Amino acid sequence: MELPQLKIDNLTARLPIIQGGMAVRISTGALAGAVAATGAVGVIGASGMAFDELRKEIAIARKLAGGGIVGINIMFAAREFWGIVQTAIQEKIDLIITGAGFSRDIFKVGRDGKTPIVSIVSSARLAETAQRLGAAAIIVEGKEAGGHLGTDRSVWDIFPEVLKAVTLPVIAAGGIVHGADVCKAIKLGASGVQMATRFVLAEECAAAPQYKKKYQEATKDDVVLISSPVGMPGRAIRSAFVDKIVAKKAPRPVGCDFCLKHCSLEYCIIQALINSQKGDVDHGVVFSGENVWKIPDRSIKPAARIVAEIVAEAGAC
């Protein structure tokens, strides 16, 4: 199948693939820019970044993107949500994707700042609400996704319900790791897909080598659900720290800076994500989608090669 373009508001991506935003500092400007340069959409995971840091990462992405589309992803659960949104709009980001919670007020801010807002949802009801409030597109994320999860249902079950409920472009996310999955989504009526897990093995991904090694070695049984202090479950690869979370023995936060609007204080998720990003995976959380073990070739390679391989796989179906 030849992949169609992806249209969101006044933006047109040559490929219907969005590289999902990954915090903390897993998808930075280097990855987003490299992906955008291929004709797909590159996304900076902005949760946990300082405002000046985000400005720098947007500039890095822009330089690499060669005119390609660059967005940011921000968790609504983050205390600095509005500061990140304003910073991204000031820096003239192409689009803002919001997940891990739902903001009703962001659509007006996006309209005023002439920036399309794309909502990640896990139900037809929330998709309808997002459309009514002014979203430019909907990403339907199923339980197969990495990071924080809004549902225990498969994307393939929720997707047709959302497609029926809205007229906006609908993008499928969660467990899509192969071009054949992209074909399947497009044939079902998706305008595109959002893929994150497959892009962690890109050279440009900012995660430490130890983090990427967890991806390279993960088996099906290594990918587990954990509780997160955000108040939603998360999907991650087993490590010494993840085993402690599962056993309810993770250490309580020390030196909390109240980075989340609501936090159960079960453990510090941001510190755990920072530790693993820097390579201390035994004291950290390595988020991953359910199908990491199905990635066809888990060597580390340039993002452009990953995109070319996905397109070739899709071409063969």
Ligand X SMILES: Cc1cc2nc3c(=O)[nH]c(=O)nc-3n(C[C@H](O)[C@H](O)[C@H](O)COP(=O)(O)O)c2cc1C
Residues near ligand X (CB under 6 A): 20-23, 26, 45, 47, 73, 75, 99-100, 120, 141, 144-147, 173-176, 194-197, 287-289, 291
Is 75 or 268 the residue whose CB approaches ligand X more closely? 75
The 10 Å Cβ neighbour count of residue 243 is 14
126 to each of 78, 113, 135, how far by Cα in Å? 20, 23, 11
Shortest separation between residue 76's beta carbon and ligand X, angstroms: 9
CA torsion sign for 293, 271, 254, 259 is negative
33 is written with which tokens?
């820019």
Is 124 or 295 the residue whose CB approaches ligand X more closely? 295
Shortest separation between residue 37's beta carbon and ligand X, angstroms: 19
Shortest separation between residue 71's beta carbon and ligand X, angstroms: 11
Shortest separation between residue 126's beta carbon and ligand X, angstroms: 14
Yes or no: say if 196 and 290 are a contact pair by the CB < 8 Å rule. no
Q: Which residue, among 284, 287, 268, 145, has the nearest Cα to 205 in the 3D structure? A: 287
245 is written with which tokens?
């979370």
Q: DSSP letter for 72, please.
A: E
Is 238 or 249 the residue whose CB approaches ligand X more closely? 238
Shortest separation between residue 22's beta carbon and ligand X, angstroms: 3
Shortest separation between residue 142's beta carbon and ligand X, angstroms: 8
Is 10 or 308 the residue whose CB approaches ligand X more closely? 308
Is 122 or 131 the residue whose CB approaches ligand X more closely? 122
Q: DSSP letter for 7, please.
A: E
Is 58 or 176 the residue whose CB approaches ligand X more closely? 176
Is 229 or 289 the residue whose CB approaches ligand X more closely? 289
146 to each of 27, 218, 235, 260, 299, how far by Cα in Å? 13, 14, 5, 19, 20
Is 221 or 249 the residue whose CB approaches ligand X more closely? 221
Shortest separation between residue 66's beta carbon and ligand X, angstroms: 23
Shortest separation between residue 198's beta carbon and ligand X, angstroms: 6
Looking at the DSSP assignment, which residues form a beta bridge with residue 138? 119, 170
Shortest separation between residue 159's beta carbon and ligand X, angstroms: 13
Yes or no: say if 242 and 281 are a contact pair by the CB < 8 Å rule. no
Yes or no: say if 197 and 176 are a contact pair by the CB < 8 Å rule. no
Is 43 or 250 the residue whose CB approaches ligand X more closely? 43
235 to each of 80, 141, 148, 188, 227, how far by Cα in Å? 23, 13, 7, 26, 9
CA distance 31 to 240: 28
Residue number with the smallest Cβ distance to ligand X: 289
Kind and range of the H or E run holding 52: helix 51-65
